[in-house]
Amino acid sequence: MSKKNNLFVIMSGSAKEKVYNDVWEGDVLLYNGTDINSDDSANQSLKTGKGNNNSQLRDVWFANDDSKPQIFLFVKREANKCIYKGEVTLCREPYVQPRHDDPSRSVWIFPLRVSGIDADSTRVNFSQAESQALDTDLETLFKKVRGKVKSKQPKGSNKKYLSTSTYYERDPEIAAYAKLRAKGVCDLCGKGAPFLDKSGRPYLESHHVVWLSEGGTDEIDNVVALCPNCHRKIHVINDPEDTDRLRSRIEYYFLSL
């Protein structure tokens, strides 16, 4: 971080193999925090240390707009070669979640959305395409996406793009279908959406019951709609009982067709 210029420069990916990697979900980069003294055998923390900016990056979320630092994203494809991807913003509050390779240890996750140049058009247009799909009635939308249920992809075959981070392709119509199917009610806690979005729709977030990064597929029998609190809970705690509850919810939907 440069305090003089009030900005962050962050690097996604590495020329070397890493224990855990940054992941794209739709148009959001789930950027992994840094370890104190590059020690990836311990829990990540907010304590200051060599090369550890977790605390300062987390505080960006709480900063006033007039004092909020700029964040610029670079990606590393190979040794001594970096590519500038553009300016990014924290689109959700940073959180802690268990590491996929070792659930006994934790990492800080910073959800970032590219807002500057060189933003991949698929990621940028996802929200717009989803919004258009949400204007479709549920029956019509089901006819468009039901083929993915009949021709289920083999586990882990969902399309993904590899560079220094991993971007998993998602279908905005499937995300929209899950939200319309939920009718404004969270599929986990059963409570109504906490607020309406700018278009006046109940605000819910689509979630893959089996995460794409864990081999899940992007189809309507693996996607649910969650309120922000439950979505955060799932990614932080990853309780098997919650997963079973979501599977039961999807089974209920299909039995009701």
C-alpha 166/C-alpha 75 separation (Å) is: 11
pLDDT digits (tens, 9 = 90+) for 232-254: 888 888 899 999 999 999 999 98
Whose tokens are 């990614």? That residue is 235
* 143-155 residue pLDDT tens: 888 765 433 333 4
The contacts found for 133-137 with CB under 8 angstroms, 24 or more apart, are 133/172, 133/173, 133/175, 133/176, 133/177, 134/176, 134/179, 134/180, 134/199, 134/201, 136/176, 136/180
Q: Residue 252: is it exposed, middle or buried by C-beta count within 10 angstroms (0-12/13-18/19+)?
A: exposed
Question: 27, 168 in Cβ contact below 8 A?
Answer: no
Q: How far is CA 252 from CA 47, 185, 187, 188, in A?
A: 45, 14, 11, 13
Long-range contacts of 96-100 (CB under 8 A, 24+ apart): 96/44, 96/236, 97/235, 97/236, 97/238, 98/236, 98/238, 99/19, 99/20, 100/20, 100/213, 100/214
What is this structure's pTM?
Answer: 0.52
pLDDT of residue 211: 81
Kindly tell me if the per-residue pLDDT of 36 is higher than 50.
yes
Which residue, 170, 175, 177, is CA-closest to 137? 177
Structure token digits, residue 154: 């083999």
Evaluate if residue 207 carries a pLDDT over 80: yes
Which pLDDT score, from 0 to 100, does residue 26 have? 65
What is the rounded end-to-end Cα distance, in angstroms, of the chain? 53
Could you report the per-residue pLDDT of 147-184, keeping only the tens digit for each? 654 333 334 444 443 333 444 457 888 999 999 999 99
Q: Do residues 125 and 167 touch, judged by C-beta distance below 8 A?
A: no
| Alpha helices (runs of H) in 50-171, residue ranges in sequence order | 54-59, 121-134, 138-145, 147-150
Give the range among 30-44, 115-129, 181-195, 217-231 with minimum mean pLDDT. 115-129
Domain with CATH 2.30.280.10 in the chain: 7-119
Cβ-Cβ contacts under 8 Å for 222 (sequence gap 6 or more): 208, 209, 210, 216, 250
The Cα–Cα gap between 15 and 226 comes to 36
Tens of pLDDT, residue by residue over 66-121, are 778 888 888 776 666 777 778 888 888 888 888 776 778 888 889 888 764 444 44
Q: Residue 120 has what pLDDT?
A: 46
Are 43 and 24 a contacting pair, CB within 8 Å? no
Contact in structure between 93 and 30 (CB atoms under 8 Å): no
Q: What is the dihedral angle through the alpha carbons of 76, 57, 46, 30, rounded to the nearest 10 degrees?
A: -50
> Would you say 126 and 170 are in contact if contact means Cβ atoms under 8 Å apart?
yes
Question: Is the pLDDT at 185 greater than 70, yes or no?
Answer: yes
Q: What superfamily would CATH give domain 7-119?
A: SRA-YDG (2.30.280.10)
Contact by Cβ (8 Å): 75, 12: yes
